[in-house]
Amino acid sequence: MRRRIVIAIGLIVLVGLISAGGYILRHPIPVVLMFHSVVPRPQGFDISPEGLASILDSAQAPPHRVIATTDSSDRSVYEAFAPRVQERKFAAILFLMPPLMDRNGMLTWDEVRELDRAGLIIASHTLTHPWLPDLSEEELWCELCASKHVIETQIGHAIMAIAYPYGAFDARVKRIVRQCGYTAAYSTASGRRTADGDPFAIKRVAVTGAVVTNRLLRWLALSGYWVTAKETLLAFVPVEIPRKPNDWSYEQWRKTRKPTYGCDG
């Protein structure tokens, strides 16, 4: 009797795995890569210059068609990220935080304008990188609309895209993003509750050192199946993605980032 139960459970698991695998293979997602800082000794979400070149070289090979994005506003965008994506003729989006421009170790507005003229897409990453769903309507307007206005003033034309800090958003955030005049918003793989074709919840693949060095992860990241595989796994694992940072406080972020543009209360 026990053996029959074990066999039955095994068959159920096998059928489940086959079904999940079939679903993943039938639902590829356009590959949008998400990078952060490019540094010689990377930690966390950072990546080395060699790692960046390696993953971009792999993404150049057929049948890959990818977009490269960065959520960093530091000088590595100008010195390492932009040259490598330009050499390989990738479409690239730079999600920037205006208050960080012209600070030590960060991009300058002159560099941003140069990259804009070179064909890289300039976009917003808000003003202070807050957890957007926690903000009031007024704070959301400031973070989403003021950041857009400042960048547009600096580069001389409209910007149309934004990346949600931490990948976090809700229906209210999306509504104000649209009202600010954006036509696209980028997140991370946020679960099956978000439609794959939603232009205000475009899903991205976070590229880390592990993705660069692990052949299986690299293949999965560039295959179009990363997002679907991750979301399928999350259907069985009780983990909320994205996760709110511990001890997060919008007031603390505002003090740390020293926001301006009429958003400092």
> Taking all residues of the chain, what is their mean pLDDT, rounded to a whole number?
83
Handedness of CA 84, 87, 91, 94 (dihedral sign): positive
Q: Name the band, by pLDDT with cuts 50, 70 and 90, for residue 112.
A: very high
Q: Is the model more confident about 29 or about 132? A: 132
Q: Rounded mean pLDDT of 48-61?
A: 92
Q: What percent of the chain has pLDDT over 90?
A: 57
pLDDT computed for residue 113 by the predictor: 98
pLDDT computed for residue 179 by the predictor: 97
pLDDT per residue as tens digits for the range 145-197: 999 999 999 999 999 999 999 999 999 999 999 999 999 999 985 555 677 77
Say if residue 1's pLDDT is above 70.
Answer: no
* Residue 165: cis peptide before it, omega within 30 degrees of 0: no
Q: Which of 173, 166, 169 is nearest to 71 (CA)?
A: 166
Q: Name the band, by pLDDT with cuts 50, 70 and 90, for residue 98.
A: very high
pLDDT computed for residue 250 by the predictor: 77
Minimum mean pLDDT among 108-112, 119-123, 207-211: which range? Answer: 207-211
Reading phi first (left if > 0) and then psi (alpha if -120 to 50, else beta), residue 74 is in beta
Q: Rounded mean pLDDT of 196-206?
A: 88
**CATH architecture of the domain formed by 26-235+247-257:** Alpha-Beta Barrel (3.20)
